Amino acid sequence: MSPTLQDIADVLKLSKSTVSRALSGDPRVAESTRVRVSSLAQHMGYRPNATARALATRRTNTIGLVVPWAPRSLSDPFYLEFLGAAGDAAMRSGYSLFLSAPDGDGAGAVRAHAELADPRRIDGMILTEPKANDERIALLHGIGLPFVVLGVASDPEVSWISGDNTAGAFDAVDHLISLGHTRIACITGPPDQTASKARFEGYRSAMSGAGLPIDRNTIEAGDFTQPGGHTAMRAIIDSGRAPSAVFVCNDVMAFGAMRALREAGLAIPADVSVVGFDGIAMAEYVDPPLATVNQPIQELGRMAVQILIEQMSGEGGPAHCVLPVQYRPSNSVGPPRTRAEAINRG
């Protein structure tokens, strides 16, 4: 049977309340008493009861995390890796992670956040995939629940953490340009999401800096899923203005785009080079291995939890963290065909 607070109190001839205050670091307890209590608790193998502690402190020791709708997020390697790192960081800090995945977007997502954001259920929340004028941020502000955003939030009073989306996209497209590509398509994410906008801005900046025109027929919005990438690539192919390369705003959509290219009889990278974004492990195992922008996904998960815990404890002001990313070339990218090569192949 596990030792209790009363067992420690009996050995030290102290009151149970004094032992409890000593273990919680209450400054009203003398340092010498705190040391005696802590040493004995460790020696006896005492472990605090999480439920009792939550009732006493009015804290739940639980962090809420609402991911995009389940069929997408729970099959997206990015979120699986992020969740693993966040869950491990939460556990190491004495917190549980409560996961919720709303059915759909828009009002459904806002409702899911409202239901979860109850201080009797969680102490704080990690919000994913922020949008411009995000209703969820206004909701959490109104409730007064501490939260951190995975992605850039425009409100300076909101804490957020993100990979450097714009710089990563710029580097990827700049590499394509350095190989001689001039007709570079782009498959974006949902237009209202800040990450999608930032990655498109990196693409646009690289093209503009090289003096290359952007053909609107080769810009398609996806939804960060494989089917979305497949549909967007099919639309670009069907436009009749086939690019020599395509920058896709996440790896999962890039997999769908690669399938669409093969179905159209186009070789990768001989006919069309493909670059993704995120650096998920699976990118190395598709055929050919996908060139991509590596995000520090596990570090994002760990730091999101760390920042949130600091917010919940009232330490410091809002935190705004941009983590560096790194473009990783691979076999899905090569120089464009010359006109003579294209004629000979045809």
Question: What's the pLDDT tens digit per position in 130-160?
Answer: 888 888 888 888 888 899 999 999 888 899 9
What is the overall mean pLDDT for the chain? 87
Cα distances (angstroms) measured from residue 331 to each of 262, 270, 277: 15, 10, 15
81, containing H or E segment = helix 77-92
Q: Which helix H or strand E contains 100, and what residues bound it?
A: strand 96-100
| Nearest-angstrom CA–CA distance, 270 and 283 | 19
Residues sharing a CB contact under 8 Å with residue 49, sequence separation 6 or more, in sequence order? none
Tokens coding 191: 């237009």
Helix (H, G, I), strand (E, B) or coil at 212: coil
pLDDT tens digits, residue range 207-225?
Answer: 999 999 999 989 999 999 9
Cβ atoms of residues 312 and 123 within 8 Å: yes
**DSSP 3-state assignment of 321?**
strand
Note the pTM of the prediction, 2 decimals.
0.80
What residue ranges define each of the domains in the chain, with the CATH number in brackets? 5-48 (no CATH), 62-163+296-322 (3.40.50.2300), 165-295+329-345 (3.40.50.2300)
Residue 293 has φ and ψ, to the nearest 5°, of -100, 115
Tokens read off for 183: 């007709």
Band the pLDDT of 71: cuts 50, 70, 90. Answer: low
